[in-house]
Amino acid sequence: MKRHEWPRFLLVLPLFVLFGFLLMAAPMAAQEKAAVAKKEYPPARNAVVTQAVSHIKIDGRLDEEAWQKAAVLELLYEWQPGENIPAPVKTEVLITYDRTKLYVGFRCFDPEPQKIRAHLMDRDAIDTFIMDDHVSFVFDTFNDERRAFQFRVNPLGVQADANFSELEGYEDFSWDAIWASAGKITDFGYTVEVAIPFNQLRFAKGGMEQTWGFEADRSWPRSVRHRMSTHVRDRDRNCLICQYNKLSGFQNISPGKNLEFDPTLTVQRSDAMDMGTFPDGELENGKIKAEPGISARWGVTPNLMLNATVNPDFSQVEADAAQLDVNTRFALRYPEKRPFFLEGGDFFLTPLEMVFTRSVADPLWGGKMTGKIGANAVGVFVTQDRINNLLFPANQSTGMGSLDENVWGGVFRFRRDVGRNSTVGFLYTGRLGEDYSNHVVGADGFLRLSGTKTFSWQALYSRTDYPELTASAQGQDANPFSGYALFGNFRHDSRNLIYVLTYEDLGSDFRADFGFVPRVDTRRLTLNVHPQLWGRPGGWFDTLAFQVYGSRITDHEGRQTDIEGRIGVGYTGPLQSVLQVFLLSQKILYQGVEIERTFNSGYMEMKPRSGLWYWLYWEAGDAVDYANARAASSILLNPSLEVALGRHLNLNVNHIYENLTLKGDRIYLANLLQARLIYNFNVRCFLRAIVQYSDIQYNPSLYASPVEAREKGLFTQLLFSYKINPQTVLFLGYTDSGIGTANIDLTRASRTFFLKIGYALVL
């Protein structure tokens, strides 16, 4: 096939588009008629919040006098799966405050309290958390309809909290605040009680009366997951915060001194085998290392925060979820989990990921200032890192390397609100080392064109200089060089139709060493059309969605390197069931070889009862053998199971199976098993065991370069955790790792003992 020809499947894409719209024309027309009749939604209700008239003890009882005189809103509307229909159960949310704390209470009525789903778990274990009954509330403290703080609590008082940024669609549960919560299951349902210190929030400076945006939500999972709110949600408006209720009051509130000191002590000993003697050697005991550190947070004003850290403890007691690192072209991305970086992380968001803080590997110190002054949001971040980890992106793959030297890094981010829901911003990132530098500067914006349409854009310029030896080893330019990046995204979001048109242009010499950009030398154009139908309450489906997707990538010499077409259908229905099926066709130019592949993929899940969740992802059909630059066939299966064994014990098992073949002969067979068993003593304390086992079997005769016939790996971790709050913690743990080959049994290669103590001193 000639290079400019498209895969056969793409030639019939217009027929699928036409078929999809014809299929949906009659149902959509009927729904549109119904939509006309229901468009007159009541406005979001406002409330006045007054100061508490008595002391409040956070015990989940809501029996103090202060609650009797608190502002009350009812969660009157079910917005999912029903569309602003009357809520199936009654829920009340109560709000009051004193000078230093914000108080929120819930009364959640249930006709069958014995069916309430509630389990103990670690805070922010959000995938497990959302299986339970729970309540949530969100405060837009600047009332700018752009950012908000989200808090969730289940009937046992388990916490989850997140930053939410409307413009980027960003909901980050890695963010942590220090707050108190309690829950109590009763004969009428359950109650929740919360106290949030004002020094954990950001809000406008001054002692005058303030108005905040507010939403309260209840999740009631039974055969379907009913979600109820204090206001209607118009599916023909693609902004959420702009539909919130408004709370006025909050007069003379104070964050106090707004000082927090978080000293930590980490003690560890790592033992390892000299690989020159593997597998017959012995583990050599390492030295015991004690690393003290301290972080501090100061609220200069209620809306401006300063963070600093010296010799910070950035150790991760949570093992990264294992990813199958075989037959991949580009660098894998792991999420940030370290508290210092997560504070104010939403201030550094841009359409392209220019700030990825895991690029900071081993910092000696760091400082950060974030806040909002009027219509202006500002973020500044500086650090000194002991090692400089680098990505060397290209069109075909990602190279990786490190410079074992100190590197200085800095980020400056400015964003200004324009009009009611639009913004314009500026970004600078820089890294400096000996004979090394990378600077990125650019502008971006978000424009809300209407209630359903938005446009976002970004333009960037980079200047990079690598040391001569690094440039030579990685095939980079030894002289300073510059590059550019452009991004544009037009999006339409309405009740029955979503479509997105995106253009992205990353120059071959563009580098963003403070961000995560694993591929450059690309011009990408994508179109995603996503019609959807909404079912009736109690019907056989909740949503029925269709997708038509196309993407084309060329390099900067005009060669088409990737083209993809995809059609799919998605279903959600009773028993919280989900089914998505896709048919894909791709053509890839890899190392000068054009490879066509047609395959199917899909995802299914079900939550049939309390504490049980199972799901399966699959791919089957044509594939690419990247190690040998040729077409192949593949079957990939990723089943998972999560089950709660009573309120205290939780088991999660995930397995990845991939079989890559060439004309029936196996190229490799990969198995990756991950299992977590957690016993939660209470909301503060748990004991967790993690096992990750990998086994990859290769057929050396089908590889152009020598490979081991088999690679095995085993990682285990045992962790005891006690958390009074996210910063006052005790961790005691042990990790063990082993490796093996076809001729060597799985042999322990290293082990680590560790202890971490952290304390939050809040003034």
Higher pLDDT, 371 or 459: 459
Chain centroid, CA 408 distance in Å:
27
Expressed in percent and rounded to 5, the helix, strand and coil fractions of the chain are 10, 55, 35
Q: How confident is the model at residue 30 (pLDDT cuts 50, 70, 90)?
A: very low
pTM for the full predicted model: 0.87
Single-letter amino acid code for the residue at 82: G
Single-letter amino acid code for the residue at 572: T
Contacts of 385 (CB under 8 A, 6+ apart): 360, 361, 362, 363, 364, 406, 407, 408, 409
Mean pLDDT of 14-24: 42
In the DSSP assignment, the letter for residue 144 is S
Pair type for strands 245-249 and 259-273: unpaired
By the 8 A CB rule, do 94 and 62 touch? yes
Pair type for strands 134-140 and 147-153: antiparallel
Tens of pLDDT along 289-347? Answer: 998 989 899 988 888 889 998 887 654 555 555 666 778 888 878 777 777 787 778 88
Q: Work out the angle at residue 486's Cα, subtended by the Cα atoms of residues 485 and 492, and round it to the nearest 5 degrees.
A: 145
Helix, strand or coil, per DSSP, at residue 526:
strand
What does 639-672 look like in DSSP terms, one character per residue? EEEEEEETTTEEEEEEEEEEEEEETTEEEEEEEE
Pair type for strands 46-48 and 245-249: parallel
Single-letter amino acid code for the residue at 431: R
- Cis link prior to 279 (omega < 30° from 0)? yes
Helix, strand or coil, per DSSP, at residue 68:
helix
Whether 40 has a pLDDT exceeding 80, the answer reads: no
Map tokens 């089943």 to a residue: 639
Query: Rounded CA gap, 635 and 616, in Å?
Result: 13
Whether 383 has a pLDDT exceeding 80, the answer reads: yes
Query: Rounded CA gap, 226 and 220, in Å?
Result: 5
Q: Could you count the other beta carbons within 10 Å of the beta carbon of residue 655?
A: 15
In the chain, what percentage of residues exceed pLDDT 90? 75
Helix, strand or coil, per DSSP, at residue 573:
strand
By the 8 A CB rule, do 96 and 66 touch? yes
Whether 620 has a pLDDT exceeding 80, the answer reads: yes
Identify the CA nearest to 293 among candidates 341, 387, 342, 363. 363
Higher pLDDT, 617 or 311: 617
**Structure confidence at residue 39 (pLDDT):** 61
Phi and psi based region of residue 400 (left: phi greater than 0; alpha: psi -120 to 50; beta: remaining): beta
Q: Which pair of structure tokens corresponds to residue 23? A: 């299929």
Cα distances from 452 to residues 41, 495, 552, in angstroms, run: 17, 9, 26
Phi and psi based region of residue 249 (left: phi greater than 0; alpha: psi -120 to 50; beta: remaining): left
CA-atom Rg of the chain in angstroms? 27
Mean pLDDT of 392-398: 92
Domains annotated on the chain, with CATH: 41-249 (2.60.40.1190), 328-520 (no CATH)
Single-letter amino acid code for the residue at 327: N
**Structure confidence at residue 322 (pLDDT):** 61
Spell out the SS3 assignment of 239-287.
CCHHHCEEEEECCCCCCCCCEEEEEEEEEEEEEEECCCCCCCCCEECCC
Tens of pLDDT along 469-516? Answer: 999 999 999 999 999 999 999 999 999 999 999 999 999 999 999 999
Identify the CA nearest to 731 among candidates 707, 709, 756, 749. 756
Q: Work out the angle at residue 354's Cα, subtended by the Cα atoms of residues 353 and 356, and round it to the nearest 5 degrees.
A: 75
**Structure confidence at residue 621 (pLDDT):** 96
Tens of pLDDT along 694-715? Answer: 999 999 999 999 999 999 999 9
Mean pLDDT of 548-569: 96
Single-letter amino acid code for the residue at 282: E
State the Cα torsion 223-129-46-236 to the nearest 10°.
-60
> Hey, CA dihedral for 26, 32, 38, 44, is it positive or negative?
positive
What does 192-207 look like in DSSP terms, one character per residue? EEEEEEGGGS---SSS
Mean pLDDT of 153-165: 94
In the DSSP assignment, the letter for residue 321 is P
**Structure confidence at residue 23 (pLDDT):** 41
Pair type for strands 225-229 and 77-80: antiparallel
Lowest mean pLDDT among 195-199, 318-322, 573-577: 318-322
**Structure confidence at residue 32 (pLDDT):** 42
**Structure confidence at residue 313 (pLDDT):** 62
Higher pLDDT, 399 or 8: 399
By the 8 A CB rule, do 191 and 60 touch? yes
**Structure confidence at residue 35 (pLDDT):** 41
Chain centroid, CA 632 distance in Å:
32
Q: Which pair of structure tokens corresponds to residue 44? A: 């979001």
Tens of pLDDT along 77-98? Answer: 999 999 999 999 999 999 999 9
Contacts 24+ apart (CB under 8 A), 255-258: 255/100, 255/197, 255/198, 255/199, 255/201, 255/299, 255/302, 256/100, 256/197, 256/198, 256/199, 256/763, 257/763, 258/199, 258/298, 258/299, 258/302, 258/763
Lowest mean pLDDT among 156-160, 415-419, 550-554: 415-419
Chain centroid, CA 492 distance in Å:
23
Q: What residue ranges in 110-179 does DSSP mark as E strands?
A: 134-140, 147-153, 159-165, 170-172
Whether 396 has a pLDDT exceeding 80, the answer reads: yes
Lowest mean pLDDT among 354-358, 517-521, 734-738: 354-358
